[in-house]
Structure 1
C-alpha cells in the first residue's frame, strides 16, 4: 500500500542535523524527499492538523511540528529507536474523509506490526484511530486520558465533545472494554459517569491517580490503543489548550502514563491530541509532549513479551473463596512483578479472559473478597 499519497513531507529546516550522534534525530528517518520504509520500523510518527471537529477552530501554527522540534533534539533511550516520521497527514475533503483516511493508514501499520503515534489535531481524531481496529476481527479494549468525558448527546455538539459516545455506540460492536482516566468530577456529568458504570467500564478520577499513579497501570495494560488529550494536563505544565484549567495531571504523571502505555505488550497505537501552539508562546507544552513521547518510546523498548501464562516466566496462584466462584487464579510475572487475573464466565465456561490486575486485587481475594475487576470483567463476558 502506498501511504505516501496521504502525507506532506516535512520542511527541511524542521529536521536539523543532530547535535550529537545520540540524539533522536540521528536515528529517526523523516519524510523529506523520500517516503520512509515504515514496514521495517517499530514506530511511526504521524502529524495531524485537522481541527474541523473543534468548536475553537484551527490554531495558526502546526502543533505536531512544534512538538517535533523538541522531540528530535532529545537523546535516544536504551532501545534501538527504529522510528520513522511519515510527515503530516493531508486532511480529507470532509472531516469524515479524514477519519476514514486515518482508519486506512492505522490499519495498514497494524497489519505490519508498526506502532503509529498520532500527534496533533482535535481529540475526535481518535475515532479514525478506533475504526482501524474494526479490521482485526476481534474484540478490542482502549483507554482515554482526558479531563472531560466526551459523550455529549445534543446535535449541535462539536465532534471533539461527542467522539467517545460515537465509539462506544459504534455498530458493529467490536469493543470489549473501555477505561476513562484522569477525568475531573466537576467536569463530568453524573449521568455520563453512571452510564459508564452501567456498561461495566472502569473509570479512574484525577484524584485517584494523584494519590497513586500506579492504579492506572492495569487499565492501560489492558488497552489495545490509548487516546490522550493534552487537556488532561494542568495548564501550568502544558499551556496548550482552551479553556485553561488550573487542575490536571502534572507533566511527571502524564509521562508516567505514557510509559505505562508504551510498556504494554498489547498496545498497538498511541494518540496524543489537542495541542494548540498558539497558547504555548514559550514552548513549555511542546517540550512536555515531546518528553511524553520519549517516555512512550522508551516504554516500548522495555516491553518483555509477557503473554504466555503457561511459561516459566509466571508464577500461578490459586486463591480459594467461600462462595461463587470457589477459586480465583492469578498470575504474577517473575521479571516485572505485574499481576493478571483469570476470569471464567459463570454462564459459559468456554469464555475466559486473563486481564491485568494489581497486587491489591490479589490481596483482596486472599482475604475472601471478590476484586472489583473480576466483577466488571464477568459482566462484560456476559
Structure 2
C-alpha cells in the first residue's frame, strides 16, 4: 500500500476522536496516524481525503476536518464492516502528480477488495479514480450524480467541467457505460445532450429522479465507480455559496442516492467532489457517507452472478425478439439478459444480466423494448 502518498490524520482530529464516547462512529474506526498504519487485510471501507481542487478555479481551499468531525460524532447502525481513515493526499507539484497518487492509492485498495470513499477536491479527480481500474482488466461503468455532463472542448486542459472527455478519449479505453443522474438541461448544450444519446449513454434529468427516486436504483446497481458533484445539491442543503445552486437534489434525496450506491454489490469506489470548506456543508456530506456505509451493510451479495437458481425466469416474446428477465427471489429486484453477440467489437464477450426495474418488465409485456436493453445491445455491436 502506498502510504507514502498519504498524510496521516491530524493530531488535533485524533484528540477530538479520543473525546468521543465508545458508541460513536469515531471510536470504531481505525486511523492512519504518525504512530499507526492500519492493517488493510481487515478493512472493508477506507476514507481517503484529497486536498487538491485545482480543477475548479472558483473553489475554496479544501478543509475536511469539519466533515470528519461531523461523521465521527454520528452513531453507527448495526454494522459489522471495518472502516479505516487513511488520511489525506496532498496536492502534488502538478495536478497530474495528484492524479498519479490518487490512482495508486485507490487501485491498491480496489485490488484488495477495499472500497475507497474519496472526499474533497474538484471533480476532475474522477479521472484518476477511473484510471485506478486500468490494472484490473475490466470494463468500467461510471455513474455521475451531476447537474452537468462535464464534456470539454477539444485540447482543453482537464478540469472539473471537462474530465468526461478525457475519460472517453484517453487510452486504455475501459469505459463501457456512463450514466448521469440529475442533469439540469439549462447547464448542458443541445449538442452535449445529443452526444450522450449518440454514445448510447444514459442520462436522467433532475425532475425525473426527484419525482421517482427509485429510478436511480438499477443505475447504481450496474456501477463500478460513483462520482457525486456537490453542485448537484441545492445550496440551501449543501451550504455551497461559492457556486450558488437554487435547484438540485435536496438533503433527503442525495442521501437516498448515496445509500443506493452503497447497497449496490458492484460499486467499488465512491468520490464526493466540488465541496467547500464551510462547516454547515460538512453535515450533509457526513450524512451522505453515513448512508453509503449503511447501504454497504445491507448488500445482498447478488453480484457477481454465480448461479441463476435463485432467480425466477420470465421470457417475453416480442416481434423478432425474445427478452429474458430474471427476478431475484431474495430481494425482488429485476435483471434483463443481454445476449452474447459474436463480434470483434463485443465488449462483454458473454451473456450478462443488466439491472432493470419491474416497470421495464411491464413495458416489455406491452411490446415496448426497454431503452436500457437497446443501448447495451448497441454498445456491443458498434
Please state which band the TM-score falls in when normalised by the shorter chain. Answer: over 0.9
Report how far residue 110 of structure 1 moved: 0.9
Out of 38, 41, 57, the position equivalent to 1:39 is 41
Report how far residue 66 of structure 1 moved: 1.8
The whole-number CA distance in structure 2 between the counterparts of 1:340 and 1:320 is 16
The residue matched to 1:315 in structure 2 has which SS? strand
Query: For each residue in 1:65-121, what CA deviation from the matched residue of structure 2 results, as whole angstroms up to 9, or x when unmatched?
Result: 221010000101121131000001122221011111111111100111100000000
Cα distance change of structure 1 residues 131 and 157 upon mapping to structure 2, 3 Å threshold: closer
Count the aligned residue pairs: 373
Cα distance change of structure 1 residues 18 and 205 upon mapping to structure 2, 3 Å threshold: farther
The answer to whether the 8 Å contact 1:259/1:296 transfers is yes
The whole-number CA distance in structure 2 between the counterparts of 1:117 and 1:342 is 31
The whole-number CA distance in structure 2 between the counterparts of 1:163 and 1:182 is 18
Out of 337, 344, 360, the position equivalent to 2:339 is 344
The answer to whether the 8 Å contact 2:167/2:173 transfers is no
1:190-209 to 2 correspondence within 5 Å?
Answer: 190-209=190-209
Report how far residue 272 of structure 1 moved: 0.4
Out of 286, 293, 299, the position equivalent to 1:297 is 293
Asked whether 1:26 is paired with 2:27, we answer yes
The answer to whether the 8 Å contact 2:179/2:203 transfers is yes
The whole-number CA distance in structure 1 between the counterparts of 2:196 and 2:156 is 22
The whole-number CA distance in structure 2 between the counterparts of 1:290 and 1:84 is 15
TM-score by length of 2: 0.93
Asked whether 1:221 is paired with 2:221, we answer yes
TM-score by length of 1: 0.93
Asked whether 1:143 is paired with 2:139, we answer no
Cα distance change of structure 1 residues 241 and 333 upon mapping to structure 2, 3 Å threshold: farther
Query: For each residue in 1:249-292, what CA deviation from the matched residue of structure 2 results, as whole angstroms up to 9, or x when unmatched?
Result: 00110001100101110110000011111xx3xx3220001000
The answer to whether the 8 Å contact 1:18/1:26 transfers is no
The residue matched to 2:323 in structure 1 has which SS? strand
The answer to whether the 8 Å contact 2:182/2:204 transfers is yes
The answer to whether the 8 Å contact 1:309/1:331 transfers is no
Out of 284, 298, 318, the position equivalent to 1:288 is 284
Report how far residue 347 of structure 1 moved: 5.7
Report how far residue 313 of structure 1 moved: 2.6
The residue matched to 1:44 in structure 2 has which SS? strand
Residue ranges of structure 2 left out of the alignment (5+ in a row):
none
The whole-number CA distance in structure 1 between the counterparts of 2:175 and 2:148 is 21
Map of 1:264 onto structure 2? 264
Query: For each residue in 1:298-341, what CA deviation from the matched residue of structure 2 results, as whole angstroms up to 9, or x when unmatched?
Result: 101110111336344321111122x121x111111122211111
Map of 2:76 onto structure 1? 76
Map of 1:55 onto structure 2? 57
Cα distance change of structure 1 residues 309 and 366 upon mapping to structure 2, 3 Å threshold: farther
The answer to whether the 8 Å contact 1:49/1:89 transfers is yes
The whole-number CA distance in structure 2 between the counterparts of 1:157 and 1:187 is 20
Greater Cα offset, 283-292 or 240-249: 240-249
Residue ranges of structure 1 left out of the alignment (5+ in a row):
none
The whole-number CA distance in structure 2 between the counterparts of 1:99 and 1:19 is 34
The answer to whether the 8 Å contact 1:340/1:358 transfers is yes
The whole-number CA distance in structure 1 between the counterparts of 2:241 and 2:189 is 21
Greater Cα offset, 200-209 or 33-42: 33-42
RMSD: 1.7
The whole-number CA distance in structure 1 between the counterparts of 2:170 and 2:335 is 29
The whole-number CA distance in structure 2 between the counterparts of 1:336 and 1:156 is 45
The residue matched to 1:237 in structure 2 has which SS? helix
The answer to whether the 8 Å contact 1:234/1:247 transfers is yes
Map of 2:367 onto structure 1? 368
The residue matched to 2:209 in structure 1 has which SS? helix
Report how far residue 169 of structure 1 moved: 1.5
Map of 1:317 onto structure 2? 314
Report how far residue 216 of structure 1 moved: 0.8
Query: For each residue in 1:192-227, what CA deviation from the matched residue of structure 2 results, as whole angstroms up to 9, or x when unmatched?
Result: 111010000000110101110111111111110101
